[in-house]
Amino acid sequence: MFMNSNRLEEKRAIVTGGGSGIGRAIARRFLAEGAQVAVLDLDSEGAEETISGVAKGLAKSVDVTDQPAMVATVQSVVDAFGKLDIIVCNAGIAHIGDLGSTSPEDMDKLFAVNVKGVYNAMHAAIPHFKAHGGGVILNMGSVASSIGIPDRFAYSMTKGAVYSMTQSVACDYLEDNIRCNSIAPGRVHTPFVDAFIAKNYPDNQEEMFAKLAASQPIGRMGRPDEIASLAVYLCSDEASFITGTDYPIDGGFLSVKP
């Protein structure tokens, strides 16, 4: 649980992929911290559920791979909120497979969503940030951008690109008062994890869940609300001296050897 401190009071934010999992946790935490939040998701029902019962919430159905649609959607959010202060580029998909089992179609789909989707979101937001004196971009990366993980060939490629884009944007827009950082979660317990285990290990789900949890040195998977707490800090004025940095939040996965 967390104590609300209104750290995002009077901020206007967009969260892509906010209809479930980590994105939903971030959107709801931003709302609890006083921000106006637009949840963008291909799943319109999920987006609506995220903001259900919240006056400061806005739900939009959009495909992040469609740049004209993203530009128009971000403009509609700015029209509704008056300006834009924060965009969290969280929308993404996973993929299981090594080099040999990854098809050209797999590569194209992963690139379209996880790389081009982040590019499209940032591309749509940057002009509004520049017009209003600055803003904050937070991209959702992964520990897979920093270390080899079995059967994550295409996924790791996309998250490495997110990390590189984060650094590049941070460098290019310093004079525009635009900060850009990324978060690199380890394994987080979301509906995706449960669905993955149910699909691939239907006969020993509890055993596989325990095995995946134990792969984090701290002894468990992360929680979406823990990722959201870091997102609040990085998007708040408290982090005004931070840009171009990737933040692992992984239960010691990258650095601790149990």
Average pLDDT over residues 167-174: 98
Region of 134 please: left (phi>0), alpha (psi -120 to 50) or beta. Answer: left
pLDDT tens for each residue of 179-196:
999 999 999 999 888 887
Transcribe 200-236 into DSSP letters. H-TT-HHHHHHHHHHTSTTSS-B-HHHHHHHHHHHHS
**Which amino acid, residue 108?**
D
pLDDT in tens, 89-119: 999 999 989 999 999 999 999 999 999 999 9
Spatial distance between the Cα atoms of 235 and 86, rounded to a whole number of angstroms: 7
pLDDT digits (tens, 9 = 90+) for 9-34: 999 999 999 999 999 999 999 999 99
Angle between helices 191-200 and 205-214 (to 10 degrees): 130
> For residue 199, what pLDDT is reported?
83
Count of all residues that appear for the chain in the document: 258
In the chain, the percentage of residues whose pLDDT exceeds 70 is 98
CB 154 within 8 A of CB 107: yes
Report residue 88's pLDDT band, with 50, 70 and 90 as the boundaries.
very high
156, 195 Cβ separation under 8 angstroms: no
- Range with top average pLDDT, 69-73, 144-148, 187-191, 214-218: 69-73
Query: CA angle at residue 138 from 163 to 115, to 5 degrees?
Result: 45
Q: How confident is the model at residue 76 (pLDDT cuts 50, 70, 90)?
A: very high
Give residue 258's pLDDT: 63
Mean pLDDT of the residues in the chain: 94
Structure token digits, residue 34: 């006083």
Average of pLDDT values for 230-256? Answer: 96
Hey, how many other C-beta atoms are within 10 angstroms of the C-beta on 203?
Answer: 6
> Maximum Cα–Cα distance for the chain, whole Å?
56
Average pLDDT over residues 31-56: 95
Average pLDDT (77-99) is 96
| 60-81 average pLDDT score | 98
| pLDDT attached to residue 183 | 98
Give the mean pLDDT of 135-149.
95
Grade residue 55 by pLDDT with cuts at 50, 70 and 90: confident
133-169 in b/e burial notation, b at 16+ Cβ within 10 A? eebbbbbbbbbbbbeebeebbbbbbbbbbbbebbbeb
Assess contact for 86 and 26: CB atoms under 8 A: no
Question: What is residue 49's predicted lDDT score, i.e. its pLDDT?
Answer: 97
Residue 212 CA to residue 224 CA, distance in Å, equals 16
Q: Is 53 exposed, middle or buried (0-12, 13-18, 19+ CB in 10 A)?
A: exposed
Q: Is 119 a catalytic residue?
A: no
Mean pLDDT of 129-157: 95
**pLDDT the model gives residue 1:** 45
Catalytic residue among 119, 155, 163, 247: 155
